[in-house]
Amino acid sequence: MSMLLWQCVVRPLHISAHHITHGSSLVRGGLSQRHNELAAVRSLLKQWGARGVHLVRNEAAPVGSNKHGASLAFKVALGTGTALGVKVLTTPLRADCKVQIAPPREVHDRLQGSKESKEKQDPPFDWLAFWDLLKPQLHNFLLAVASALVVSLVNVQVPILLGEVVNVVAKFTREAAREGRNFMQEIYAPSIKLVKCYVVQAVFTFSYITFLTRMGERMADDLRHQLFNSFLKQDIAFYDRHKTGELVNRLTADVQDFKSSFKMCISQGMRSITQIIGCGVSIYFISPQLAGVTGLLVPLIIASGTALGSLLRSLSRQAQHQVAVATGVADECLSNMRTVRAFAMEEEETRLFTQEVDRSRQLNEALGTGIGIFQAGSNLFLNGIVMGILFAGGHLIATNEMQAGDLMSFLVASQTIQKSLAQLGIMFGTYVRGTSAGARVFEFINLTPEIPVKGGKIIPYHSLMGNIEFRNVSFAYPTRPDQEVLNNFNLRIPAGRMVALVGASGGGKSTVAQLLERFYDVVRGSITIDGEDLRTLDPAWLRGRVVGFINQEPILFATTVMENIRYGFPAASDEEVIQAAKTANAHDFIESFPDGYNTVVSERGVAVSGGQKQRIAIARALLKNPRILVLDEATSALDAESEAVVQEALSRTVEGRTVLVIAHRLSTIQNANIIAVMQHGRLVEIGTHEDLKKMGGIYADLIRQQQQEESANTDNTRWL
């Protein structure tokens, strides 16, 4: 399946003569007609919608060759300054291109754009879903809230008790010696009260942190679980719409943001509000005059703190975003190191990364300066208030309107109010961040897929024949509803027969295979298996038991070969796995691995060659003994030697099954019972290889074209 996604990833593309307007000259001309090839790539990129394409290096450099063709490397630039590396491997009927998009500005702008649109389109917070999430943790929540309340009330008491202690101390410095009173006796009661307060404060601080953590972690765990579950239930169209990075971000950063914001709102928010009210009442009772003056300054503190705070928050968001952009560039480069190396783009990648890191440094420096100004300014301001209170309080003490201990209480209480106000300012930002992160998470949890993962009719195994029929099928991908990919498509695949789909690239062949797997539903018409509409059948049964799918790029998981083959049919015994591997021509090479079937294949299957990977995938598909087998370009990425071995395995695999095979190399499908030729989403020719050749239509043209390309390719190989 070929498709270009303009996103910051490197992905292989398969571009056939149909896509490249000068396709035949591309292949026939070989290396001697580089300009034609470059023009072809340029026209292709334009076709894809890349505006202002021009070639940076007007020369193609051969980077390698094999029996099947030559690799050429091009560097292309988009008008925006986007650098593309295009690597073309010419093969008899097609050109396989690797397109690397490594555009710093483009990546940045795209991320910026997506972030802006994300900010604009944040869904409303779902309070009902939040309540459902909170309900199981209500006991932890209430215990945390009660404990935090106790801590706040104690915090309100502390300044008053401190004042009482200071009053005793102050009294003794002035009069104790003269009156012969016992200091220990007088200080004992207020000191004990203070110590009790500190102990209660410590116990309940421990308690609220423990309950809050328990509640937060359990809610986050629940959220991740629900979200992941919801991801796995979504239909494939959902994955066409959303990038993997975005989904992973919701699962990690958004859940984390939501959790910490929620915890913070409870602990800090509640404490701050209680302390502001409690200490406000205290200072009023200590000295109404001083409290009045301080109260006048409060709006000033709030206004300046909010203004500066929002400025800093916006700067901090920009800095965080820039760090993400720089990380994205590094991630893209490191995870595609082979492509970077193949194009000798190390210096360019370093330049891109440095550029993004430099921007990030500048923003962080600006943020640091802002924080410095904010902290210095607020310290100065707060210390000014302390000085003011001391000055006015000193005056009140001198006129015997106040005691020293009361001044002390007033100072501590007013400081607590100031700190709490500052906390509330921060809290507002935290609340906004938390609710928007939560809204994004709930949005995906609440999504209902159009195609359910399971549920529906099952045809009993003994009566399942495997007759397939596409009847007047029309289809457009949900992400491109205006582009009709299949148009009144009709095809019958009788049980136990092999039907090959051929035709120009983009004609809709892979789409037919995907519809058979019910990755998407048809827009009009119907697909039936043994007369049953696919939409009435259980999708899990269909994919898990009936249809085996082998495509060009099999995916191996980072586990043992045994588990990789068993994937999709976990109940299979070791013997069954080994038998499937034998049929798939895989047993011998697996046995030659150091740990045999227990060898762990690395994350991307690097330790396993393409042909070996494909045979493991065949064994995996075989294990579930599917009635229907779909082979979508199963051997087109392989060299001649591997292809022969895989073909041999496939010919054993297809026996007794209904098979839909899609292949560009016509030599691989000549034995099919029926060959169906597709063009622009329609079936245009159908018959056996001999019939179609005699007919002299599109199929005959394709064969002629392929033969010419094969001979041109042999010439190129000789030339190289």
Ligand X SMILES: Nc1ncnc2c1ncn2[C@@H]1O[C@H](COP(=O)(O)OP(=O)(O)OP(=O)(O)O)[C@@H](O)[C@H]1O
Report the residue from 510, 564, 612, 653 that binds ligand X according to the rule CB under 6 A.
510
Report the residue from 400, 448, 479, 573 that binds ligand X according to the rule CB under 6 A.
479
Name which of 217 and 517 has its Cβ closer to ligand X. 517
Q: Is 635 a binder of ligand X (CB under 6 A)?
A: no
Name which of 434 and 506 has its Cβ closer to ligand X. 506
**Binding residues among 314-343 for ligand X as defined by CB under 6 A:** none
Residue 536 DSSP one-character state:
G
623 burial level (CB within 10 Å; 0-12, 13-18, 19+) = buried
Report the residue from 8, 14, 646, 689 that binds ligand X according to the rule CB under 6 A.
14
- Minimum distance from residue 507 beta carbon to ligand X (Å): 4
Q: Is 507 a binder of ligand X (CB under 6 A)?
A: yes
- Minimum distance from residue 674 beta carbon to ligand X (Å): 17
Stretch near ligand X under the rule CB under 6 A, chosen from 70-78, 330-338, 363-371, 505-513: 505-513
- Tell me how many degrees the CA angle 35-39-41 measures, rounded to the nearest 5: 115
Name which of 235 and 538 has its Cβ closer to ligand X. 235
Query: Which residues lie below 8 Å from residue 710, measured CB to CB, with a gap of 6+?
Result: 92
Stretch near ligand X under the rule CB under 6 A, chosen from 130-138, 444-452, 461-469, 477-485: 477-485
Name which of 144 and 476 has its Cβ closer to ligand X. 476
Name which of 5 and 281 has its Cβ closer to ligand X. 5
Name which of 16 and 585 has its Cβ closer to ligand X. 16
Chain centroid, CA 292 distance in Å: 54
Size of residue set near ligand X by CB under 6 A: 17
Name which of 287 and 511 has its Cβ closer to ligand X. 511
- Minimum distance from residue 94 beta carbon to ligand X (Å): 8
Work out the number of other CB atoms within 10 angstroms of the CB of residue 707.
12
Q: Is 624 a binder of ligand X (CB under 6 A)?
A: no
Answer yes or no: are the C-beta atoms of 302 and 421 closer than 8 Å: yes
Report the residue from 100, 167, 505, 668 that binds ligand X according to the rule CB under 6 A.
505
Stretch near ligand X under the rule CB under 6 A, chosen from 50-58, 109-117, 476-484, 596-604: 476-484
Beta bridge partners of 658: 628
Work out the number of other CB atoms within 10 angstroms of the CB of residue 720.
13
In whole angstroms, what is the distance from residue 586 CA to residue 616 CA? 6
Answer yes or no: are the C-beta atoms of 476 and 482 closer than 8 Å: yes
- Minimum distance from residue 509 beta carbon to ligand X (Å): 4
Answer yes or no: are the C-beta atoms of 650 and 642 closer than 8 Å: no
- Tell me how many degrees the CA angle 204-206-209 measures, rounded to the nearest 5: 105
- Minimum distance from residue 21 beta carbon to ligand X (Å): 15
In whole angstroms, what is the distance from residue 648 CA to residue 660 CA? 17
Name which of 329 and 686 has its Cβ closer to ligand X. 686
Contacts of 214-220 with CB under 8 Å at 24 or more apart are 214/137, 214/140, 215/137, 215/140, 215/141, 215/144, 215/263, 216/259, 216/260, 216/262, 216/263, 217/259, 218/136, 218/137, 218/140, 219/133, 219/134, 219/137, 219/259, 219/262, 220/255, 220/256, 220/258, 220/259
Name which of 50 and 212 has its Cβ closer to ligand X. 50
- Minimum distance from residue 97 beta carbon to ligand X (Å): 11
Can you tell me whether residue 527 is helix, strand or coil?
Answer: strand
Q: In what order do the strands lie in the sheet with 658-662?
A: 547-551, 628-632, 658-662, 498-503, 674-679, 682-687
Q: Is 518 a binder of ligand X (CB under 6 A)?
A: no
The DSSP result for 605-630, as a single string, is -TTS-HHHHHHHHHHHHHHT--SEEE
**Binding residues among 208-267 for ligand X as defined by CB under 6 A:** 240
Report the residue from 6, 374, 431, 477 that binds ligand X according to the rule CB under 6 A.
477
Can you tell me whether residue 590 is helix, strand or coil?
Answer: helix
Can you tell me whether residue 493 is helix, strand or coil?
Answer: strand
Name which of 280 and 507 has its Cβ closer to ligand X. 507
Q: Is 2 a binder of ligand X (CB under 6 A)?
A: yes
At 486, give phi and psi (nearest 5°): -120, 135
Q: Is 485 a binder of ligand X (CB under 6 A)?
A: yes
Tokens coding 679: 């063009």
Answer yes or no: are the C-beta atoms of 688 and 675 closer than 8 Å: yes
- Minimum distance from residue 444 beta carbon to ligand X (Å): 19
Q: Is 511 a binder of ligand X (CB under 6 A)?
A: yes
- Minimum distance from residue 510 beta carbon to ligand X (Å): 3
- Minimum distance from residue 485 beta carbon to ligand X (Å): 4
Specify the pairing of strand 498-503 against strand 658-662. Answer: parallel
In whole angstroms, what is the distance from residue 82 CA to residue 103 CA? 5
Report the residue from 67, 105, 395, 480 that binds ligand X according to the rule CB under 6 A.
480
Q: Is 487 a binder of ligand X (CB under 6 A)?
A: no
- Minimum distance from residue 663 beta carbon to ligand X (Å): 9
Name which of 16 and 282 has its Cβ closer to ligand X. 16
The DSSP result for 181-223, as a single string, is --HHHHHHHHHHHHHHHHHHHHHHHHHHHHHHHHHHHHHHHHH
Answer yes or no: are the C-beta atoms of 374 and 312 closer than 8 Å: yes
Q: Is 495 a binder of ligand X (CB under 6 A)?
A: no
Q: Is 509 a binder of ligand X (CB under 6 A)?
A: yes
Taking residues 433 to 472 in sequence order and writing x for each that binds ligand X by CB under 6 A, - otherwise, the string is: ----------------------------------------
Name which of 482 and 575 has its Cβ closer to ligand X. 482
Q: Is 77 a binder of ligand X (CB under 6 A)?
A: no
Residues that bind ligand X (CB under 6 A): 1-3, 14, 16, 240, 477, 479-480, 485, 505-511
